[in-house]
């Protein structure tokens, strides 16, 4: 409904914000809401305002603080946040925002006003509202406390030393029974201790014991910190952080379970025995009715298969069932994982299965499949004929430059590493350049023919 909006016309219409009757007239309030939505839409589409336009629009918007309509006020907050970086006069609304933060009858006003305040104040003004921010962080209302913590996270970027003084208030909220408050408090605490490995270790150790962390999102933050600490751990089996990750594999929340499994699988020092439980959990997710879980699991297994293919072979039966998955992203990852973990005897069957869905997926996924086939051919060179035939067949199909380049590069790699491939490979490439529309690929192939052609069994061919 906003297609073709003209910036000049919309800015002219915003003069409506200056009218005194806005706070009482329902129709005018609705018109103001529509106008503000138009401005926010233009900003979202990448429209910019010069300094004069931003300042003028900003002052008009501030007049709407006189209106108590809840929906209009939310749009006022949103628009001020967007204009704060463009207008040099943004700080003038701090009094209005402080009044809203101190209101006891509207949680929404208090929470959103705090978020906006963090965007409009500068370092010099932060000291004046420090007490207000600390009160917000410790507020009994979860939405207000969460807003205070998020604002502090934003303020950390330029005022880290000031925010670090609020550590006691933040630490108290880590024990909050509200999931979102605990998540934001823990995120802020780790941000405060960034660069202090000893401090982070102490916090992690204190939280991994017992059931202090109830929030699934906070648990995910803690899991990631554990994984980071484990990167330098020489003995994973005796680590308290590793024990915590293992416990999280049995968490009742699927997000936490996946995060723990992913963290264990990403550990560089992890041995096959360390991965057993994580792989088992991911294998269960492969048969989930939720596409997000299937995708997450197969993507993680795909990464593990690069470094430890034998650990993933137990999932091959489940992976094969995903080749026909209606979500082609999942199917592509399943087939490429199988190509990394499959045995020499399964090559022919896998190549037949790949052929059935190559035409249904986008070029970016086709490139992933081509790269996996190249790796498998290098792993099982005796099966080069099957895989070279497949590569030559898709080379004749429709596709963009990157897809064609991936196939040509794969054939060139195989020619360089498997002597038996040279004759067939050169033949396929010769056929390709008869109709090739990409000059760079034709040049690369002609260069190869000049190098390898004279030494082939039949140079005239």
Using the predicted structure, report yes or no on whether residue 88 has a pLDDT greater than 80. no
For 333-389, what is each residue's pLDDT tens digit?
Answer: 888 888 888 777 777 777 877 777 777 777 888 888 888 888 888 888 888 888 888
Report d(CA 275, CA 267) in Å as an integer: 9
Q: Which residues contact 97 (CB under 8 A, 6 or more apart)?
A: 113, 114, 116, 117, 120
Range of the domain at 432: 343-461
Note whether residue 205 is domain-resident. no
DSSP 344: G
Q: What's the average model confidence in pLDDT over 255-262?
A: 96
Is residue 247 a part of any domain in this protein?
no
Other beta carbons within 10 Å of 238: 9
Spatial distance between the Cα atoms of 66 and 96, rounded to a whole number of angstroms: 10
Q: Tell me which of 83-87, 175-179, 395-399 is least confident.
A: 83-87
Rounded CA separation 116/97 (Å):
8
Query: Is 371 a domain residue?
Result: yes
pTM flag (> 0.85): no
- Check whether 215 has a pLDDT greater than 90: yes
Query: How far from 163 is each of 26, 188, 416, CA to CA, in Å?
Result: 42, 10, 59
Q: What is the pLDDT averaged over residues 149-164?
A: 92
pLDDT band at residue 212, thresholds of 50, 70 and 90? confident
Q: What's the confidence (pLDDT) of residue 145? A: 95
Q: DSSP readout, 139-150?
A: -SSHHHHHHHHH
Q: Sign of the CA dihedral 135, 201, 307, 402?
A: positive
Residue 368 lies in a domain: yes
Convert the pLDDT of each residue in 30-72 to its tens digit.
Answer: 888 999 999 999 988 888 888 888 888 888 888 888 888 888 8
Dihedral of alpha carbons 115, 118, 121, 127, sign: positive
Residue 387 placed within a domain: yes
Query: Within a domain: residue 107?
Result: no
Of residues 238 and 179, more confidence is placed in 179
Instruction: Please give the average per-residue pLDDT across 302-308, as a whole number.
Output: 88
For 390-442, the pLDDT digits (tens) are: 888 888 888 888 989 999 999 999 988 888 888 888 888 888 888 888 899 89
Is 264 contained in some domain? no
Q: What is the pLDDT of residue 353?
A: 76
Q: Spell out the residues 6+ positions from residue 142 whose beta carbon is closer than 8 angstroms to its own.
A: 176, 178, 180, 181
> Measuring CA to CA, which residue among 259, 260, 233 is closest to residue 244?
260
Q: In Å, what is the CA distance from 202 to each residue of 51, 96, 153, 185, 387? A: 48, 41, 21, 16, 53
Greater pLDDT, 104 or 207: 207
pLDDT at residue 97, rounded to an integer: 87
Number of folded domains that form the chain: 1
Residue 189 maps to a domain: no
């Amino acid at each position: 409904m906003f297609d073709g909006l003209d910036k000049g016309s919309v800015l002219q219409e915003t003069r409506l914000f200056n009218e005194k009757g806005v706070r009482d007239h329902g129709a005018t309030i609705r018109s103001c809401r529509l106008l503000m939505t138009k401005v926010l839409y233009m900003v979202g589409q990448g429209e910019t305002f010069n300094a004069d336009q931003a300042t003028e629009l900003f002052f008009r918007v501030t007049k709407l603080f006189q209106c108590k309509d809840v929906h209009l006020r939310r749009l006022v907050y949103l628009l001020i946040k967007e204009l704060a970086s463009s207008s040099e006069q943004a700080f003038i609304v701090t009094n209005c925002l402080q009044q809203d933060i101190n209101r006891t009858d509207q949680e929404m006003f208090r929470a959103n006003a705090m978020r906006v305040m963090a965007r409009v104040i500068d370092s010099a003004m932060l000291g004046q509202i420090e007490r207000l921010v600390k009160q917000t962080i410790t507020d009994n209302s979860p939405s207000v406390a969460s807003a205070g913590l998020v604002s502090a996270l934003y303020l950390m970027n330029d005022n880290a030393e000031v925010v670090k003084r609020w550590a006691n208030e933040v630490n108290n909220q880590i024990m909050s029974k509200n999931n979102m408050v605990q998540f934001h408090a823990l995120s802020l605490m780790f941000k405060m201790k960034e660069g202090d490995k000893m401090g982070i270790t102490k916090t992690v150790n204190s939280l991994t014991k017992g059931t202090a962390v109830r929030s699934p999102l906070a648990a995910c933050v803690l899991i990631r910190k554990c994984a980071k600490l484990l990167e330098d751990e020489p003995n994973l089996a005796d680590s308290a952080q590793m024990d915590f990750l293992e416990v999280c594999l049995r968490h009742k929340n699927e997000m936490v379970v996946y995060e723990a499994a992913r963290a264990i699988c990403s550990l560089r020092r992890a041995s096959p025995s360390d991965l057993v439980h994580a792989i088992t959990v991911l294998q269960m997710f492969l048969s989930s009715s939720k596409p997000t879980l299937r995708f997450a699991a197969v993507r993680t297994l795909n990464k593990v298969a690069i470094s430890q293919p034998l650990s993933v072979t137990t999932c091959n039966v489940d992976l094969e069932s995903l080749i026909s998955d209606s979500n082609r992203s999942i199917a592509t990852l399943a087939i490429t994982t199988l190509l990394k973990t499959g045995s020499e005897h399964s090559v022919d069957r896998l190549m037949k299965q790949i052929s059935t869905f190559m035409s249904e997926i986008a070029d970016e996924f086709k490139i992933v499949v081509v790269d996996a086939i190249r790796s498998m051919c290098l792993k099982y060179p005796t099966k080069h004929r099957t895989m070279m035939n497949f590569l030559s067949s898709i080379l004749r199909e429709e596709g963009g430059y990157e897809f064609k380049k991936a196939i040509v590069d794969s054939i060139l790699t195989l020619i360089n590493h498997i002597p038996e491939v040279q004759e067939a490979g050169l033949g396929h490439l010769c056929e390709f350049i008869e109709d090739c529309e990409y000059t760079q690929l034709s040049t690369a192939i002609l260069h190869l023919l000049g190098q390898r052609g004279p030494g082939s069994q039949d140079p005239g061919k």
